[in-house]
Amino acid sequence: MIALAFTEPIGPEDAPLLVLGPSLGTSTILWEGVVPALATSHRVVAWDLPGHGASAPASDAFSVDGLADAVAEAARALGADRIRYAGVSLGGAVGLSLLLRHPSLVERAAILCSGAAIGQPDDWHARAAQVRAQSTSSLIVGSAQRWFAPGSIARHPELTGRLLHVLQDADDESYARCCEALAAFDVRARLGEISVPVLAAWGEWDAVTPEASAREIADGVRDGRTSRIVNASHLAPVDAPAAVVAELSDFLDERGR
């Protein structure tokens, strides 16, 4: 089983458990701008990918399904038999895998800036090779351009800078293995198996997982809806935290459905 580091729960002990998943190259700080608001009505935890943030480096290859199983095990260890989930990019892919592999655990999921398949396998393998040869430092400029909406770095200089440092400090081999997991991830043919409510949201400026990726998810599951997050790119919780809080709060509130 993959060992993933989780934050300490924040919020009322008797509130629903909300699990937050990261984008590749980031850590739990991705969610810092939204956790305080979400924790008023949820018990909130976030987790780090292998070799990122507080999680130990990966010693073996792993899959998106393996990450989903590790998240499910950790959630159950926190005493939850039902959870709510929100994840960005790779964290969103893990959310879809959770819905397929642990359907009785997840009661609803928000899949942000993600897809049922993300990018092209050859591109992920090429990025894995680049990181093994040149380290994650070689990705800083390109990631900053993909991750953040125009003006976002100027608006959030401290948080965006910290996230780029997380990328630089990530374990190279673990990052490469995450790329290989994404290369193999494709659940488009299985979306119809997902029956719980799913929100698929995209960032207005996101070129990695644009509107079409979100609509494919929402149209494929049995109970899906989409949302456009204005002034956001691939890391919507950083670019537009208030908008993300509003979307998640509305969606995660059972009375709103």
127-131 — which CB contacts under 8 Å span 24+ positions?
127/176, 127/179, 128/175, 128/176, 128/177, 128/179, 128/180, 128/183, 129/176, 131/172, 131/175, 131/176, 131/179
What is residue 256's predicted lDDT score, i.e. its pLDDT?
Answer: 39
Q: How confident is the model over 71-101, as pLDDT tens digits? A: 999 999 999 999 999 999 999 999 999 999 9
Which helix H or strand E contains 227, and what residues bound it?
A: strand 224-229
Average pLDDT, the chain: 97
| Tens-level pLDDT at each residue, the chain (257 residues) | 798 999 999 999 999 999 999 999 999 999 999 999 999 999 999 999 999 999 999 989 999 999 999 999 999 999 999 999 999 999 999 999 999 999 999 999 999 999 999 999 999 999 999 999 999 999 999 999 999 999 999 999 999 999 999 999 999 999 999 999 999 999 999 999 999 999 999 999 999 999 999 999 999 999 999 999 999 999 999 999 999 999 999 999 865 34
Q: Which CATH class is domain 17-256?
A: alpha beta
Instruction: Give the amino acid at 212.
Output: A
Number of H helices, E strands in the chain: 11, 6
